[in-house]
Amino acid sequence: MLNPKGEVLYVGKARNLKARVSNYARGNAHSARIARMIVETASMMFLTTRTETEALLLEQNLIKQLKPRYNVLLRDDKSFPNILIGKEHPFPQIKKHRGKKTEKGSYFGPFASAGAVTRTLNQLQKVFLLRNCTDSMFEGRTRPCLQYQIKRCSAPCVGKVDEAAYGALVKDAELFLQGKTTTVQSDLAAQMNTASEAMEFERAAALRDRIKALTQIQSAQGINPKGVAEADVVALHMEHGQACVQVFFIRAHQSWGNRDFYPKTGAGAEEPEIMEAFLAQFYDDKEPPPLVLLSHPVENPDLVGHLLSDRAGRKVEIAVPLRGEKAELMENAARNARESLARRMSESSTQNKLLLGLAEAFDLDAPPTRIEIYDNAHIQGSDAVGGMVVAGAEGFIKSQYRKYNIKSAAGANSDDFGMMREVMTRRFERLLKEDPERKSDAWPDLLLIDGGAGQVSAVAGILSELGVNDIAMVGVAKGIDRDAGKEEFYREGQPVMALPRNDPVLYFVQRLRDEAHRWANGAHVAKRAKAVSITPLDDIPGVGAARKRALLAHFGSAKAVARAAVPDLMAVDGISEPLARKISDFFSARG
């Protein structure tokens, strides 16, 4: 459904198209949301698919791409982390993994957050003593690291445990992550008793400590459902037109964390429509578990179940539990959804007051809906980076953050004004190219610049050249003694101003400025670290990452490699005589 300007208002599916359109045309018994949508609709466009499942899939893909006003939209669809036990090394590494499962190994998850993975990894290391170091670090060790000293690793890198014994530890860890904790615990208890009877008291004590750590893990789990091995618990709570969906991940009879989502409710959609749209979009790039428990039924349960089963490659059951352990899980998730939405509404109310205060303090026409804050970071011009963070009515919008590697001579010359000009030119030239009519919400209402009159003047000049003259801009300078609380604010053509020291708006601006500073500094540090790792070896054809590591491990530095003779180079694993000569010739040509 499109408005007179051709903008998409709504995307929907129908098994019976005639009946669906006729229902819209009747003009009565519609909800306020549907009535508004019909009034705004000027034309309709139709697409046909072979099956109803394809229609549901196409509907959700178009909603994510077009973001129509009257559709339910999941705004946070980041991937979830997993635990990976690698299988490409004789002594597998246990680590956090996010993204496509391309690396060979056993994957366990998803976990709700990186923090949930980190906590579980720390606990697993205490019990199963698996290494978390990289393969290159493993190969370069000559003595045990700190992890071994604090009893979190069995030190296979220096032969403290053989391959068979380490493999047994890996197997136990996999059994635990599969939910077979009783088997692991009984095996450890049997080993402890055997060691004790053989008067190997040190080994018995170590096994006792591992059993104790395993017991602590089990007791630390917030939810340990005995009758639910693997499921997602999805609870929806709505209040005042806003919605919160809480998802709990149950894997191996354990809670692996939870995540809350705040979908756009399509200007007033009901629970069944919101739940159906959420499920279709949430599992767009995630594999569903065998069981999905819901707080509310969906509009088309058979259709959604078929869609999730197709994505999983096996049967996926969708259920709304009414009693028993599953209902208790749902009650817990629903309570979390209710409390999360209450907190968010409270924070949103506070944020709106701050935005209103910001508008009053800087004489803006209205409270800003999108604020962009800019800062630069460099060390005497080296590895210069510009950073942009974004904030709005719901706080910081981290998916909109951007970093800019400074390409002009401004970076090398430590020219802060030049760097800011480059960042602003690139930012607004792209905006003008992608959205010249300003139809999207990517255009800011307010720019906060870290700096004083010079930075503000530089930015104003760039915006004027590009024909963008209607965006408010404020420069934030540290002020006297660079003391927080004495900030001075610069605006084009107006006198310098300050805010009272205890003004909430001042604290708000400080938080915005500090977040931009943190983001820019982080990008600068990452760029500098990457530059440090670059060596002349990167420019030699035939020397990839593995051979580079082998050469550096053997000789200690790129300079030592440059001085090495051909026979010495050939002593390194993977370096043949032709390649050794190529390396020697490369450094000879560089002088």
- Residues 6-39 pLDDT 10s: 889 999 988 888 888 888 887 667 788 888 888 8
User: Can 370-523 and 536-590 be said to share one CATH topology?
Assistant: no
Q: What angle do CA 287, 291, 292 make, to 5 degrees?
A: 80
391-406 average pLDDT score: 90
Separation of first and last alpha carbons in the chain: 69
The values of phi and psi at residue 44, to 5°, are -135, 150
Cβ-Cβ contacts under 8 Å for 502 (sequence gap 6 or more): none
pLDDT tens, residue by residue, 333-354: 999 999 999 888 888 888 999 9
Q: What angle do CA 114, 317, 83 make, to 5 degrees?
A: 20
Q: How far apart are CA 329 and CA 455, in angstroms?
A: 55
Alpha helices for 11-132 (secondary structure H): 17-25, 32-40, 52-66, 114-128
Confidence grade of residue 77 (pLDDT, cut at 50, 70, 90): low
Output the pLDDT for position 222: 46
Q: How far apart are CA 157 and CA 133, in angstroms?
A: 10
236 forms bridges with which residues in the sheet? 245
Q: pTM for the whole thing?
A: 0.66
pLDDT reading at 475 higher than 50:
yes
50-54 average pLDDT score: 86
| SS percent in the chain: helix, strand, coil, step 5 | 50, 15, 35
Output the pLDDT for position 26: 76
Q: How many residues does the chain have?
A: 591
Confidence grade of residue 193 (pLDDT, cut at 50, 70, 90): confident
Give the residue, 411 or 500, on which the prediction is more confident. 500
484-496 average pLDDT score: 85
Q: Which homologous superfamily is 536-590 in?
A: 5' to 3' exonuclease, C-terminal subdomain (1.10.150.20)
Range name among 200-209, 400-409, 436-445, 466-475 with the lowest pLDDT average = 200-209
Return the closest-CA partner of residue 153 out of 171, 136, 133. 133
Report which residue type is found at 79: S
Range name among 83-97, 152-166, 518-532 with the lowest pLDDT average = 518-532
pLDDT tens, residue by residue, 576-590: 999 998 998 888 877
- DSSP letters, 276-341, are HHHHHHHTTSS---SEEEESS--S-HHHHHHHHHHHHTS--EEE---SHHHHHHHHHHHHHHHHHH
pLDDT reading at 190 higher than 60:
yes
pLDDT reading at 408 higher than 60:
yes
Candidates 3.30.420.340, 3.10.580.10, 3.30.420.480, 3.40.50.10310; CATH matching 370-523: 3.30.420.340
Q: How far apart are CA 450 and CA 460, in angstroms?
A: 14
At which residue do the structure tokens 């609380």 appear? 485
Output the pLDDT for position 424: 93
pLDDT tens, residue by residue, 260-272: 899 988 777 889 9
Range name among 34-38, 372-376, 537-541 with the lowest pLDDT average = 537-541
Asked whether the CA dihedral 134, 139, 141, 147 is positive or negative, the reply is positive
Output the pLDDT for position 459: 92
pLDDT tens, residue by residue, 311-334: 899 999 999 999 999 999 999 999
Output the pLDDT for position 227: 84
pLDDT reading at 180 higher than 80:
no
Output the pLDDT for position 220: 44
Q: How far apart are CA 308 and CA 57, in angstroms?
A: 10
Return the closest-CA partner of residue 389 out of 375, 406, 372. 372
Task: Note the Cα 411 to chain centre separation in Å.
Answer: 30
Cis peptide leading into 110, omega within 30 of 0? yes
Q: How far apart are CA 185 and CA 182, in angstroms?
A: 5
pLDDT tens, residue by residue, 270-298: 899 999 999 999 998 888 999 999 999 99
Give the residue, 386 or 210, on which the prediction is more confident. 386
The values of phi and psi at residue 468, to 5°, are -105, 100
pLDDT reading at 308 higher than 70:
yes
Fold of 231-251+263-342: Nucleotidyltransferase; domain 5 (3.30.420)
Output the pLDDT for position 373: 96
In the chain, where the domains are located? 17-73, 82-220, 231-251+263-342, 370-523, 536-590
pLDDT reading at 117 higher than 70:
yes
pLDDT tens, residue by residue, 135-162: 888 888 888 899 998 888 999 999 999 9
pLDDT reading at 225 higher than 80:
no
pLDDT reading at 476 higher than 90:
yes
